[in-house]
Homo-oligomer: A and B are copies of this chain.
Amino acid sequence: MMRPILISDPTLRDGSHAIHHRLTVEQISAYTRMAEEASIPIVEVGHGNGLGASSLQLGESLVSDKQMLEVCREHLKRTKLGIHVIPGFATIKKDLNNAIDIGVDVIRVASHCTEADVTQRHIEHCRTREREVYGVLMMSHMAPASILIAEAKKMQSYGAQGIIIMDSAGAYLPEEVKEKMKALVSSLDIPVGFHAHNNLGMAIANSVAAIEEGATILDATMKGFGAGAGNAQLEVLIAVLQLTGYETGIDLYRLLDASDVAEQNFITVPTISSSSIVSGMAGVFSGFAKPVERIAKQYNLDPKDIYFELGKRKVVAGQEDLILEVAVSLSQLR
């Protein structure tokens, strides 16, 4: 018997990082129509950092959340419409309620892997408004399984109907994915999912490792379109799942056709650059790439040294000011 896996496709959300949130209405419409034809179960859309994140600091979306959701809602019938929500960027009163009013089906509420508390009100609100809601633990390589379990259980207690473990820095190798997934699956009462990045070339292998240990939800994007080295490549993942006896309901032929069209229209296929590799090894989020390169040049340092030092200091998104501090102290060491 084929084991069922739920696929959620954040091509129009994680991918928007790769093009500075410049997706056009035409590209969004075209992709949602193809996703519908290929029977992709969930399409997640929006600014790379989720609902309400469009800003000068994080990059402004070309198309507003409202317009993007309305366009997608119009095209998606069987495919569910999903959003990524980070409390702090997305308010309940305005952003979340607007999205629910437009008719979003699936809401992912995300926090850093040790800060599930901040998701409580958003998750509870989604349940009150009777929406499908998942908890997401980002940068999960920074916490051991025991902490991930404790944080995931909080989300479960708030009403989350599943927990997604994100490898935001692309830092995992399959063994660690297996260990953490096994622990989470046996400790939680709700489904567990995995969201891969490809910094160490392991996005597909890590995704397969996750489901081998009982995860039942996987994120993957067309052509791997996503932040930094990209995500698990959706078409490749579906091919591998088909070969290994998992069922996703996705039509592989239509999906492959869609991938050809998407590549012609808007996808810059991610490749694994030297800075992606180092950021994966160091466990640093790819959002640090540009400022690290810039500051390394300014201080005449090797960006690799900065990455590894940032990794030692366990930086997370929002701490970009530490790059300068690291650069200064590395310069003084010379």
Contact = CB atoms under 8 A, between A and B. Distances in A.
A322 interface: no
Contacts of A11: none
A162 to B, nearest CB: 25
For chain A, what secondary structure do more than half of its interface residues adopt (helix, strand, loop), or is it mixed? helix
Nearest to A255: B274
Interface stretch (A19-27, A69-77, A151-159, A199-207): A199-207
Nearest to A240: B200
Contact of A235 (B205, B240, B242, B277): B277
Nearest to A260: B274
A278 interface: yes
Contact of A302 (B174, B253, B274): B253
A197 interface: no
B256 A304 contact: yes
A204 B204 CA distance: 10
Chain copies in complex: 2
A190 interface: no
A274 B173 contact: no
A83 to B, nearest CB: 27
A271 to B, nearest CB: 4
> Which of under 10, 10 to 19, 20 to 34, or 35 or more describes the interface residues of A?
35 or more
Given A202-B204, A204-B202, A280-B239, A259 B233 contact: no
Interface of A: 173-174, 200-205, 208, 223-224, 232-233, 235-237, 239-240, 242-244, 253, 256-257, 259-260, 269, 271-274, 277-278, 280-281, 302, 304
Given A200-B204, A201-B203, A236-B277, 5 more contacts: A201-B232, A223-B272, A233-B272, A239-B281, A260-B273
23 contacts: A173-B208, A173-B244, A200-B239, A201-B203, A201-B205, A201-B232, A201-B233, A201-B240, A202-B204, A202-B240, A205-B205, A223-B272, A233-B272, A236-B277, A239-B277, A242-B281, A243-B281, A253-B302, A253-B304, A256-B274, A260-B273, A260-B274, A269-B271
